[in-house]
Structure 1
Amino acid sequence: MSEEIYIEQRDGIAHVVLNRPSLKNAVTLAMWSEMAAIFSGLAGEEEVRGVVLKGAGKDFSVGADISEFESIRDDRHQSAAYEVEVDACSSAIAALGKPVVAAISGYCLGGGCHLALACDFRFGDRTATVGIPAARLSIVYGLHSVQRLLALTGVSNAKRILYSADRYSAEQAISMGLLDELHENPGLAAEQFLRRLSVNAPLSIAGAKHMLNGLSMGVGGLDRAAVQRLIDEASESEDFREGRRAFAEKRPPQFRGA
């Protein structure tokens, strides 16, 4: 493991911790890859019965580290490769046959929300601020995350979240389905919850998780080629470049739809 992610284990519960508190736990490309490996590895650790995913310091995660986009996500090809790593991470979390709880304080935005959506449950405190600001960078949020968002919040709330790029308070997030429970100490509450689940049959939990995740992710008649085309167009747009410039310059972006 790198210093940017570490694991603590206590009596069968693993805590996977994003460890860039000075940068609000912004996630680099390398961290997406590392998390995929960590969660895949936890599948083989029989003594681990549940996982808490959390951030060091005051924030869960402000999202992807946009400062590196200029060099690693500048066109449709780089964007597609980046999304492969992001999806591999969320797939590893979702595929883990053990319950995973995101313990959320402070910012849970964009890529941070992507991580939380892949977990089985999301516990927050009253400092939690949740949102997906993709529309302020001219990014089309990834298909798997949109499917998970839809399953949790319903179509109207999912559209509101993605169209507006707004940030939602803990109370709003609860009402929209983005958070499941509020606690003074979400990390401790998540650990206690997982200990309750750990007395139940692991194979029952793994089977239920596999079926429920699969049922919630059904795409029906969705045209995947059209989805990829929309993602590619946004990845190569001048608006995406303008979104990055505006973010770096701390000013409102001026989008043209191209």
Structure 2
Amino acid sequence: MDVLTSEKIKVWISDQVAVVTLNRPGSRNAMTYGMWLAMPSIMAALDRNPEVRAVILTGAGADFCAGADIAEFEKVRADVAQATTYEVAVDACCDAIANISKPTVAVLRGYCLGGGAHLAMSCDFRFAGQDALMGIPAARLSIIYGVKGTRKLLSLVGLSEAKKILYGGQRFGAPHALRIGFVDQVAGLGVVASGRSFWERLIGAKQQVAKSDPMAEARAFATSLAGNAPLSMAGAKYLLNGMAMGTGALDLVRSEALIAAAAASEDYREGRAAFGEKRSPKFQGR
């Protein structure tokens, strides 16, 4: 099912998984100002849609996202006032991705640079192809990477690696990204003696997915998550993201309300019944 389609961002929904595709392959899917502005409404629509249980973010063609479209900076980011407005739009976009209540997976192929890295880090998980090339070239443009993007980077890779990435502005490949914790899985790497990857073993996959295709691995993972209890995953995401950002970001009243709502839900009763009957539960998100 094709929904919410625009020229530059396309959304497909099938089997309870939404695939959001940045669609400027001729520009390595560089984000225009309009794309930053459009993403929050897309994420809000997917969050409201009960048919969507997980979201994949990817890029059309050979690349994920080369970052912000620098070619338009003379028009939209030419001075301090415009730069401030622009960063507000970037943060709103990435916050919308980070705060959607459903699991999100970024599929990284080719370039994942600058603002593209912020998009990827805003997702819960990052699955990379072996050709993926990451980097944040802010130091080569005399730009200070935004507060929220820097916080996400620090949380993922630690202080020393974050400094290397931001001070140096160098690009790094998928194997290094996996070693430092920037990505969770690289297609074709991490395969154990059983012939199954970590994620395949985690989800109990009965059939192997294509080892060279991060989208296949991401879809298998997202589909497995789509079968779990939506209220449980949404609550866990809120708690974990809030804790990762510091206690000030975590609303304890809301946290307790989420826990109570899950305990009072139809899904909790269904989960208990399914366990007793030794069958797979059928969760409805309520």
Taking structure 1 as the reference length, the TM-score comes to 0.83
Partner Cα distance (1:5, 1:25) in 2 = 10
Amino acid at match of 2:67: G
Task: State how many pairs are aligned.
Answer: 220
- The 3-state SS of whatever aligns with 1:216 is helix
Superposition deviation, residue 200 in structure 1? 1.2
Question: What does 1:94-113 align with in structure 2 at a 5 Å threshold?
Answer: 94-113=98-117
Alignment match, 2:139 = 135
Question: What does 1:166-181 align with in structure 2 at a 5 Å threshold?
Answer: 166-181=170-185
Partner Cα distance (2:134, 2:98) in 1 = 20
Partner Cα distance (1:93, 1:13) in 2 = 15
Determine which structure has more spread, i.e. the larger CA radius of gyration: 2
Alignment match, 1:247 = none
Alignment match, 1:55 = 59
Taking structure 2 as the reference length, the TM-score comes to 0.75
Partner Cα distance (1:198, 1:92) in 2 = 20
Q: Does 1:212 align with 2:216?
A: no
Alignment match, 2:7 = 3
Give me the CA root mean square deviation: 1.1
Amino acid at match of 1:23: S
Partner Cα distance (1:136, 1:41) in 2 = 37
Partner Cα distance (2:245, 2:162) in 1 = 15
Partner Cα distance (2:144, 2:44) in 1 = 27
Moved over 3 A (4+): none
Alignment match, 2:35 = 31
Partner Cα distance (1:93, 1:76) in 2 = 26
Partner Cα distance (1:118, 1:208) in 2 = 16
Superposition deviation, residue 178 in structure 1? 1.1
CA offsets, 1:10-52, max 9 Å, x none? 1100000000001100100000111111111111001100000
Structure 2: gaps spanning 5 or more residues: 188-211, 249-286
Alignment match, 2:73 = 69
Partner Cα distance (1:218, 1:70) in 2 = 36
Partner Cα distance (1:100, 1:131) in 2 = 21
CA offsets, 1:199-250, max 9 Å, x none? 2110110011111111112298xxxxxxxxxxxxxxxxxxxxxxxxxxxxxx
Superposition deviation, residue 188 in structure 1? 1.6
Structure 1: gaps spanning 5 or more residues: 221-258
- The 3-state SS of whatever aligns with 2:131 is coil
Amino acid at match of 1:205: M
Superposition deviation, residue 57 in structure 1? 0.2
The 3 A distance-change label for structure 1 pair 210 and 24 is same
Residue 187 (structure 1) aligned to one of 215, 224, 245: 215
Q: Does 1:123 align with 2:127?
A: yes
Question: What does 1:146-165 align with in structure 2 at a 5 Å threshold?
Answer: 146-165=150-169
Residue 50 (structure 2) aligned to one of 46, 49, 61: 46
CA offsets, 1:154-176, max 9 Å, x none? 01111110000010011011111
Superposition deviation, residue 92 in structure 1? 0.5
CA offsets, 1:71-105, max 9 Å, x none? 11111111110011000001100110000000000
Alignment match, 2:259 = none
Amino acid at match of 1:210: Y
Superposition deviation, residue 2 in structure 1? 2.2
Superposition deviation, residue 191 in structure 1? 1.0
- The 3-state SS of whatever aligns with 2:127 is strand
Residue 82 (structure 1) aligned to one of 75, 82, 86: 86
Alignment match, 2:227 = 199
Higher relative contact order (CA 8 A, sep 6+): 1
Question: Greater shift after overlay, 126-135 or 35-44?
Answer: 35-44
Alignment match, 1:223 = none
